[in-house]
A = this chain, B = another copy of it.
Amino acid sequence: MTSPVLTLTTDFGQADPYLAIMKGTILSIHPQVQLVDISHEIEPQDVAQAAFVIGTSYRYFPKGTVHLIVVDPGVGSHRRPIALATPEAYFVAPDNGLLSYILAEAGANPPPGAQAWAGERMPSLYLWALPQPLQAITLNNPRFWRQPLSATFHGRDIFAPVAAHLSKGTPLNELGEPIPSLLAFPPPRPEVMPDGSLLGHIVHVDHFGNLISDVTEDDLKSTKLTVEAGERHIEGLSRSYSEGGELLAIIGSSGRLEIAASNGSAAQALQLGKGDTIIVRTRKSY
């Protein structure tokens, strides 16, 4: 089955030739594919940020879309090139944690004792066993690679050609050998404190300066809450960005608690960023 859509997520920026070289390589194999950029402004080598971005985006694409993700600090070392098939989509990437949110959402679990990522630059990776119906392979069939293989640009030489062949309908098992587990980090989760409050983490700061946390709608027992962020206390949940005071707490479009500023950047107003923490207290009602 061919896939008309192939997305790209990288830390390449758009000033250099690298992204275009991958696109040209893909189109040389599958000229009819529709290429969609997810983001190329991932911070250089920031696997966790790329994992968040693809983890938040993929579910909105057509079933069977091929997602190519290349943030690859270990290129040329022993990290494996892999592909993952889920019921929704295909993913082609280095095996370095880029698919962590996707695995978690697809029902895979970290091994016992694994520490959740808490906003540091480089999360600790663990081998996650893949439950049915997930299938993964290591990309070890050089017939589908560009030759000669470089040690510096597997995006061009392995990942792009394999993604193009997948989107053209080549079956997964021709591209490499099955593997039972992938490296991933447990996505960040808020901690329940002894006093019942939640200690949440900022996992992303968006273009508007909104601070997006790991606290989800389901984690909140009440909308009567106080969020402590930086030195400020924000009372209650707003329903829209244009409502409420200068700073507001809101459930954002991906179902996560966000701190926003109605006329500007909450990140700037609060001097908070990725990895910082917030405290969410449910207000007692007497």
Answer whether residue A245 sits at the interface, using C-beta atoms and an 8 A cutoff. Answer: no
Q: Which of B11, B24, B74 interacts with A60 by CB under 8 Å?
A: B24
From 4 to 45 in chain A, residues with beta carbon under 8 angstroms from any chain B beta carbon are 4-5, 7, 11-18, 20-21, 23-25, 27-28, 31-32, 34-42, 44
Segment of A149-157, A173-181, A228-236 in the binding face: A149-157
Chain copies in complex: 3
A256 to chain B, nearest CB (A): 11
Answer whether residue A108 sits at the interface, using C-beta atoms and an 8 A cutoff. Answer: no
Answer whether residue A267 sits at the interface, using C-beta atoms and an 8 A cutoff. Answer: no
Contact assessment for A20 and B253 in the assembled complex, using a CB-CB cutoff below 8 Å: no
Answer whether residue A75 sits at the interface, using C-beta atoms and an 8 A cutoff. Answer: yes
Q: Which residues of B contact A151 (CB under 8 A)?
A: 239-240
A253 to chain B, nearest CB (A): 3
A52 to chain B, nearest CB (A): 8
Q: Which residues of B contact A75 (CB under 8 A)?
A: 240-242
From 49 to 100 in chain A, residues with beta carbon under 8 angstroms from any chain B beta carbon are 53, 56-62, 65, 73-77
Contact assessment for B73 and A252 in the assembled complex, using a CB-CB cutoff below 8 Å: no
Q: Which of B41, B56, B57 interacts with A15 by CB under 8 Å?
A: B41
Interface centre among A28, A42, A74, A242, by most chain B C-beta atoms within 10 angstroms, is A242
Q: Which residues of B contact A241 (CB under 8 A)?
A: 73, 75-76, 152
A24 to B28, CA, bound (A): 23
Supplied contacts A5-B27, A24-B61, 13 more A-B pairs, CB within 8 Å: A17-B39, A20-B53, A20-B57, A25-B60, A44-B208, A60-B156, A73-B242, A75-B240, A76-B242, A77-B243, A152-B241, A152-B251, A153-B252
The 8 closest A-B pairs by CB, nearest first: A76-B240, A24-B60, A153-B253, A13-B207, A15-B41, A24-B61, A20-B38, A17-B57
Task: Enumerate chain A interface residues (CB-CB to B < 8 A).
Answer: 4-5, 7, 11-18, 20-21, 23-25, 27-28, 31-32, 34-42, 44, 53, 56-62, 65, 73-77, 150-153, 156, 204, 206-208, 239-243, 250-254
